[in-house]
Structure formats: C-alpha cells, structure tokens
Structure 1
Amino acid sequence: MGYIKDIPTLKGYNYEEWKRELDLAFILGEVDWVLTTPCPIEPADLVRGEKESDAEWQKRERNNAPLIMSYDIEHVKWSLANKNCLAAVKDTIEPTILGSIPEYDTVSKYLESIKSQFTGSSKFYATQLIKQLVTERYHGGGVKDHILRMSDMASKLKPMDLGISDDFLVHLVMTSLPKNFDNFVVNYKISLEKWNLEELISNCVQEKERIKETNGASNNLVKDNKEKSHWSPPLKAKQPQHLPQ
C-alpha cells in the first residue's frame, strides 16, 4: 500500500482526481477486489437429525470442515484488506471533511457515501471556476501573477475532465487585459503565431513595460507643456522719461 502516498488529499472539489488515484493505488496494491467482493458468509452450524446415526453425523462434520476452514481463511483475508483500505481512504481525506462522513464497516459503503456527498460539489466547484476564469480581469499589478492565477484556475479543471487547451487559455488572458493593451491584443489576433504560456507571460510583461514607458513619456510631455503655458517673458525695464527743457 505504499502507493497511498501518491494519492492527493480529498478536499471536495478534487473528488474525481482523488478517486482515480485511489483506485489506481488499490489496483497496484492488489486489494481492489475488496471493493466488489462482499464479506464472506459464515457457514450455518450443523444440526444433527434425531434419527441420524453417529457415522452419518461424523461424515457430515468431516464434509463441513473444509467449508469452515475456507471461510476462516477468506474471512481473515477479507477483514484485513477491508481494514487496511478503510484506514488508507481515511488517511487521504482532509480532517475537516473526514468528520462529516458517516462511519461504515466496509470500505465499499464508505466510498459510496463519499461519492454521494462530493460528486455534486465537484460539479458546483467546476462551474464556479469556469465562471471566474471567464470573467477574470487584469486591474494592475504584476501581469505575470495575473496570468499564473488564471493558469492555476484552468489546471484545477483538468482533474474534473474539463481541462481547457493552451490556445483557449491564451484567448481568455487576452480578453482579461484592459484597453491600454488593445493594440497588443489586436496584433496577436491578426498574427498567425500562437503562444504557449511562457511566451504569453514574457510578451505581456514586455508590453506592460512598453506601455509604462510610453505613459511616462506622455506624462513628461504634458508636464512640460503645462510649465510652458505658465511661462511669460520678462518685463522690459521702463525707459526714463525726459522732462521738457
């Protein structure tokens, strides 16, 4: 069961990823059979008939002995696998979630309970992520951090089988940029070139610096014009008037 360490912690929104990795760990650990195999049923006790002879009774006991032995072996095997799997499942669940899950004696029933609780919440979380991703807007600060934040949201959709392509992520990032990036966005749209995430970040950072420098130059020009508009030539000294002789 060393494969358990590779299972992500169940946090609710990542149920599909968690269950997929859990199933893989059980398969590799060769204990997945306990999820579909019910607990062995103990053979019923033999009841001696009123007219049954000693020989007949002893024969039935001998015939029943292998069944009891087989049950004992299978029951120990099943109980150990069920116990270990149940402990492994609980060990991969976030403590705050663990307390909300009802207790069951079998790992199969325990997993069914988890499924009923978190399948719906995963879909709700996916809907919220998609909505946030589509409406996300860049309002200043580090443009790299903004893009990485959107990329992180997109990556959380992949375990739910709702992953988006890199091209679509680039499109969403472009849509999230403010108006002063309009020329930058238009140039990309008319270009045949396609960027990956690293190229997108690099080019957006460069564009931000270019806009910053352009705005700085514009602000200096406005400042210079204002200063010039307040400048007036020095007054000429008045010539002394000559009194008439």
Structure 2
Amino acid sequence: MHEKFVVFEHDLICLIDQGMNTAALLAHMGKIDKLKGPNYPTWRKDIDMMFTLTDMDFALLYDKPTEPAPSEARYDDKMLHYSIEKRKWEISNTKCLKIIRHLIDDSIEGSIPECATAKELLDRLKSQFTGSSKAYASTLVDDFTNTRCDSSGVRAYIQKMTSTAAKLNKYLGKDLPEDFVVHMIMKSLPKEYETFHVHYNTTVKDRWTIEQLMAQCLQEEERLKSHKSDSLNYISNQSKKMNKNSKPIFKKGPKGDPGQSTSKTSTINHNHGRGKNPDKFFPVPWNVCLHCKQEGHYKKDCPDWLRSLIPKDPKDKDKGLQTKEDAGKGQKKR
C-alpha cells in the first residue's frame, strides 16, 4: 500500500511538471529545423539543449533500470526505487522518441529504422549522417573563405561572417581564434576599404574584437558615403555653373538687322536659298521679297517683278517674253 502511494505521488509530480514544461517544449520545438541530413550537427545540438532545459533527458543519460532479484537484501526498498526509476525512464524515453521522430524530415524518415529507445535512435542517426556532416562542414568553410561584401552593407556582412564562424565552432567543438575571424573579414572587404585595411595593419597596435571591428567599419562606411555624396554635389554644381555662365554667340548681321543670333534655327533660315555661297547674307529677311521688299512671297513670285518683265514696246515682243518659270531659273532657290 505504501509503495502504491509513493508511485501515485510521483505520477502526480510528473503531471505537474509536464504541464509546466509543455509551453517551453513547444516553444523550443518551433525553433528547431527538421533533420534533413547536412544540418545534423546543428540539429543534434538543438535537441540536446531542448531535452536538457525541459528535464526530459533522463532516458538519454541513463540506461533502462533493471528489476532487483527477490533474494537481494532490502528487496522491498530496492523494488520501490526500481518502480520509481522505471516509471521516470519510460516517460522520458517515450517523449524523446516521439519528439525525435517528429523533428525528422519526411523525405528521410522512411530510411530511419525503428528503435526501442531514444538513445539507440540518436546513435543510429549519428552513424548515418556522419558523412553528411562533413559535407556540411565543407560548405561552411567555403562560405567563410569565399563570401564577399555586397550591397547589403558592411553590418549585415560582418553578422553573416560571424554567424558562419559560430556554426563552424559548433562543428569543430572549439572556437576559432577571434583574431583569425577579424583577419578574414578585413581581407574580404571591398576595394574601397583598402586604405582602412592598410591603416589597421600598420598603425593599430591592439588587436580588435568583432565588436570593435564592426564599429570601425560602420564609421568608415559612413565616411565613404559622405565623400561620395560630396563628390556628386560638386560635379552637379559645376555643371549648373557652366550652364548658367554660357551665353549665346551673336554674329553681326547686315544693316537694319544687327545682332542676329547664330542659333540653329536662324542658320537654317538664312541658309535657305544661298546656293553656292552659304556664308553670304541676303540684304533682307528670309520671308521678304528682294524686289518689292514685302513679306509673304519671293521675288520669283512677285507680281511687280513679273510685270516688269513684259516689254513695253510691241517690237520687243520678238525678243522673247520670259515666263514665270524662265524668270525663276536665274533665281537662287530660297
């Protein structure tokens, strides 16, 4: 009777602990990516941390309890202790198995054999994905050595590099030297930071931490942006000054029309009808008749000029009367 009461009390405590840990367990599970193979090292560390924080790692730390023999001394006490430990181990093992299976991606779940204990299942996963973890480490090394700063900014770039270094630290089981990480980040900065890099190598005596490196890089980034903005403003102002100070070039025209502009429109109008001598100006504007000095027609169409071509003496009629077309032959096309 006493044994049953103790077991019932332990079950009640387990139920209370279960209710308290459910929220924390669900929160941790939502942050863990499912196992797909290459991410095994990170996945394993995440679930180990989750089981530890939620007090469910009892079945992972200890083997299944063995029942004491009736002939052993203090059999009743050992049997009571065995019942408590067995119940605790079974609860932990069942939960761990369910959670581990849930955190395996559907694409590889079929290749994972059934196991009676959570500890055995984790050992199978470790042996199966050891090669994948090596490939994952190679990918991390390539990213860490070949990544270059892009348009996202120097802050995002340094954070990305430190994140990759942290993943390498997890895989290697020890931290990379901070000086090495700082050197790799400085080496992979854009060409605009070359002077900044030389200054660090030749002038700075103390070794920077990641935080100091980020602060100095952000300051250098702001300086480069300000310098670039000043250069653009200077070029823009110089262009505006040139446009403001430029004046149209005037060419002296004939009498009565001083200061005629040599703009494209005026050049086209004055060149109209010049013939072989395009540089010679007409004595009248382009739309004025050379004969009657009236606007609206050319000399070849002038009524007064055409009437002047008609001979006054009938005897001169045989000399020939110039027609409108013949009269226009000698005129330069306007």
Q: TM-score, normalised by structure 2?
A: 0.51
CA distance in 1, matches of 2:236, 2:249: 25
Matched, 1:166 2:166: no
Which moves more between the two structures, 89-98 or 200-209? 89-98
User: Which digits, 9 at most, give the CA deviation of each residue in 1:170-197, with x for residues without a partner?
Assistant: 1111122111111111111222232212
Amino acid at match of 1:85: S
SS at match of 1:105: coil
Amino acid at match of 1:197: I
Matched, 1:17 2:45: yes
Give how far 1:138 is off: 0.6
Q: Residue 52 of structure 1 aligns with which residue?
A: none
Point out which structure has higher relative CO (alpha carbons under 8 A, 6+ apart). Answer: 1
CA shift in 2, pair 1:240/1:108, >3 Å: closer
Are the equivalent residues in 2 in contact too, given 1:174–1:185 (CA < 8 A)?
Answer: yes
Q: Of residues 234, 244, 248 in structure 2, which corresponds to 1:221?
A: 234
Give how far 1:152 is off: 1.2
Give how far 1:209 is off: 1.3
Matched, 1:121 2:140: no
Q: Residue 178 of structure 1 aligns with which residue?
A: 190
CA shift in 2, pair 1:88/1:130, >3 Å: farther
CA distance in 2, matches of 1:236, 1:195: 67
Q: Residue 85 of structure 1 aligns with which residue?
A: 92
Which moves more between the two structures, 99-108 or 187-196? 99-108
Q: Residue 326 of structure 2 aligns with which residue?
A: none
Q: Residue 56 of structure 1 aligns with which residue?
A: none
Q: Residue 189 of structure 1 aligns with which residue?
A: 201
SS at match of 1:137: coil
Q: Residue 66 of structure 1 aligns with which residue?
A: 71
CA distance in 2, matches of 1:199, 1:15: 31
Are the equivalent residues in 2 in contact too, given 1:13–1:121 (CA < 8 A)?
Answer: no
CA distance in 1, matches of 2:175, 2:44: 13
CA distance in 1, matches of 2:169, 2:250: 79
CA distance in 1, matches of 2:85, 2:132: 32
Are the equivalent residues in 2 in contact too, given 1:23–1:32 (CA < 8 A)?
Answer: no
CA shift in 2, pair 1:157/1:117, >3 Å: same
Give how far 1:167 is off: 1.3
SS at match of 1:13: helix
Q: Residue 102 of structure 2 aligns with which residue?
A: 95
Are the equivalent residues in 1 in contact too, given 2:179–2:207 (CA < 8 A)?
Answer: yes
Q: Residue 302 of structure 2 aligns with which residue?
A: none
CA distance in 2, matches of 1:82, 1:237: 107
Consecutive unaligned residues of structure 2, counting only runs of 5 or more, are: 1-13, 257-334
Give how far 1:79 is off: 4.4
Q: Of residues 194, 210, 216 in structure 2, which corresponds to 1:203?
A: 216
CA shift in 2, pair 1:92/1:148, >3 Å: farther
Consecutive unaligned residues of structure 1, counting only runs of 5 or more, are: 44-64
CA shift in 2, pair 1:22/1:232, >3 Å: closer
SS at match of 2:129: helix
Identity of aligned residues (%): 25
Give how far 1:29 is off: 7.2
Cα RMSD over matched residues?
A: 4.2
CA shift in 2, pair 1:146/1:85, >3 Å: same
Amino acid at match of 2:249: L
Structure with larger Rg:
2
Q: Of residues 32, 45, 62 in structure 2, which corresponds to 1:34?
A: 62
CA distance in 2, matches of 1:166, 1:225: 48
Which moves more between the two structures, 210-219 or 78-87? 78-87
CA distance in 1, matches of 2:95, 2:233: 65
CA distance in 1, matches of 2:131, 2:81: 36
Q: Residue 281 of structure 2 aligns with which residue?
A: none
Are the equivalent residues in 1 in contact too, given 2:56–2:95 (CA < 8 A)?
Answer: no
CA distance in 2, matches of 1:130, 1:162: 15
